[in-house]
Structure 1
């Protein structure tokens, strides 16, 4: 795997509101937080840019609404934001980080960045939507599957899918559809440690 010298890490919606398990239910990937932390640390150590994305929900009662403690980044992310200049903060009210403030696409293009690694919450929601749009916009997107997590979900006709099944569906759609390359944390960290190919 080659990681370009200025590839950006997008850390999507790792917020305290997702810790309210009574609202969200069962999640998958219990080690995702440790992997996200390791990727932020690896990115910072390599001098590459990190973008922190926060969902400012406009839905009344949402645990991600501004002014509510759940809107804040989880502690391990906030601690890392405080190091190395903080990185770019993008806020959004919809599923894609590319429809946020400031303009992510404009910032990436101005910096000459063509490759993105995407991690965060939820796998099949904002992380997937951001990856799909990144692919549509022509970026080389690495979707770090095991550094994301999601929750069981009920859809139409009473259909219910568990978090693992939803994550697999996302991985197949993104990878098989050519939107992103689905990868694992270990191989990404290995590429960073090898210098990433410049």
Structure 2
């Protein structure tokens, strides 16, 4: 073994615990550092991040359908943003869709609309007759008390400033008024047309299937 090879061998023995080497190599080099493996998961494409693009679709005719069936049909056509409201103006919630039927739709049938368009169905309960047009919610105008007789207590409350103090009593019996959308206003104080200055409001009411005394 020549001197050059012996020197290389001694150097290898000193570094044997860290790296392997060949004593015959005169210019030993440390191993190249490990490089990070590329990610196996590709980056999301713009279409994946933003969801399926909106497409124009012809809006079907939903009038006369049960609300649940109308919603299912709308979703099958790609419309996923759906709403419904009480066409009678009573402000009732459609808690069980199968108990309601469609009287109107905000986008007329046959209209081309983006699938991101919100479809709003006007509804009444199955045993009720659809109104000719959706009843509009009452509202206070020019700071005066609106005529709320015949309106549901829920709609009457919605017509007034949220800060208004309101008292409701049963006009026929001594019952608690629990679900205001099921009760109609019989009398009101202040009277219709009175200037509203933050004064308390009082209503008497009966259930909709009852007559005001």
More helix by share: 1
Query: Normalising by the residue count of structure 2, what TM-score does the alignment of the two structures yield?
Result: 0.20
Higher relative contact order (CA 8 A, sep 6+): 1
Q: Which has the larger radius of gyration?
A: 2
Query: Normalising by the residue count of structure 1, what TM-score does the alignment of the two structures yield?
Result: 0.21
